[in-house]
């Protein structure tokens, strides 16, 4: 039976197998134990190294024995390093497997709960529920329309008559604006003058004779 099997208490026919949580906890405890062992060995290696240096020239036999012990401690430290790497890898794999198991378990429970919910509701129940909701919406809309509708006398008007009355009012307003632009019609226009314009004064006889003489001289010298 291996040391790991003895560590985790397995192997017997009637032995109780540890749960993933228990196995992870034991692996962590083993890591802590080996880490402490590493620290102890590193200190021993330093001590033996100092002993060898102090006795290197004084007592070679003591120095050689110290170096031998240092070598053994280094070999043990190297094996512990490998063991820690293996345990760390195993612990991480077990933690991931445990996480996946929990996730799958929860997903399975959720799937069963969803299936049970759907079975309790049923497709027909959903159709009936949606039909009831639509019907209640229609009832609410009908109530809203009824409440907002005015009641009492004097509220029922002919829309065509109202439009005709509005057009008549607009035409009256347009006519009024045109009259204001043209101005009042009873303002008298200015009368045509009855007297004739003064005639252009006639030229004097002497001026006419002088003009004739000037024309004759111009013809003679040409």
Say which CATH number the domain at 70 has: 1.10.287.1060
Question: pLDDT tier at 166 (50, 70, 90 boundaries)?
Answer: confident
In a domain, 9, yes or no: no
In a domain, 211, yes or no: no
Could you tell me if 28 and 10 are in contact, meaning their C-beta atoms sit under 8 angstroms apart? no
What are the pLDDT digits (tens) for 118-148? 777 766 777 777 888 999 988 898 888 888 7
Rounded CA-CA distance 59/47 in Å is 16
What are the pLDDT digits (tens) for 109-122? 998 888 887 777 76
User: What are the φ/ψ torsions at residue 183 (nearest 5 degrees)?
Assistant: 90, 170
In a domain, 82, yes or no: yes
Query: Can you give the residue range of the structural domain that contains 95?
Result: 18-120
How many CB atoms within 10 Å of residue 8? Answer: 16
Could you tell me if 21 and 98 are in contact, meaning their C-beta atoms sit under 8 angstroms apart? yes
In a domain, 190, yes or no: no
In a domain, 141, yes or no: no
pLDDT higher than threshold 50 for residue 32: yes
Domain count, the chain: 1
Residues sharing a CB contact under 8 Å with residue 80, sequence separation 6 or more, in sequence order: 34, 37, 38, 41
pLDDT higher than threshold 70 for residue 208: no
pTM: 0.44
pLDDT higher than threshold 50 for residue 1: no
Distances from the Cα of 162 to the Cα of 120, 124, 168, 182, 190, angstroms: 61, 54, 10, 31, 48
Rounded CA-CA distance 36/24 in Å is 19
In a domain, 107, yes or no: yes
In a domain, 179, yes or no: no
In a domain, 84, yes or no: yes
User: What are the φ/ψ torsions at residue 92 (nearest 5 degrees)?
Assistant: -65, -40
């Amino acid at each position: 039976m291996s040391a790991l099997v003895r560590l985790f208490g397995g192997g017997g026919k009637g032995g109780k197998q540890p749960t993933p949580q228990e196995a992870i906890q034991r692996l962590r405890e083993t890591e802590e134990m080996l880490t402490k062992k590493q620290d102890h060995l590193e200190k021993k290696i330093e001590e033996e190294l100092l002993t060898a240096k102090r006795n290197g020239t004084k007592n070679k036999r003591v120095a050689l024995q110290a170096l031998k012990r240092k070598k053994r401690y280094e070999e043990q430290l190297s094996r512990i390093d490998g063991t820690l790497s293996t345990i760390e890898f195993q612990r991480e794999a077990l933690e991931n497997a445990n996480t996946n198991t929990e996730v799958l378990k929860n997903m399975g429970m959720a799937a069963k709960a969803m299936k049970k919910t759907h079975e309790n509701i049923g497709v027909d129940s959903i159709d009936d529920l949606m039909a009831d909701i639509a019907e209640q919406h229609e009832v609410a809309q009908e109530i809203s329309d009824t409440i907002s509708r005015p009641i009492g006398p004097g509220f029922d008007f002919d829309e065509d008559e109202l439009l005709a009355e509005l057009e008549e009012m607009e035409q009256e307003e347009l006519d009024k604006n045109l009259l204001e632009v043209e101005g009042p019609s009873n303002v008298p226009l200015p009368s045509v003058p009855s007297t004739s314009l003064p005639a252009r004064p006639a030229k004097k006889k002497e001026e006419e004779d002088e003009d004739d003489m000037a024309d004759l001289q111009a013809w003679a010298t040409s």
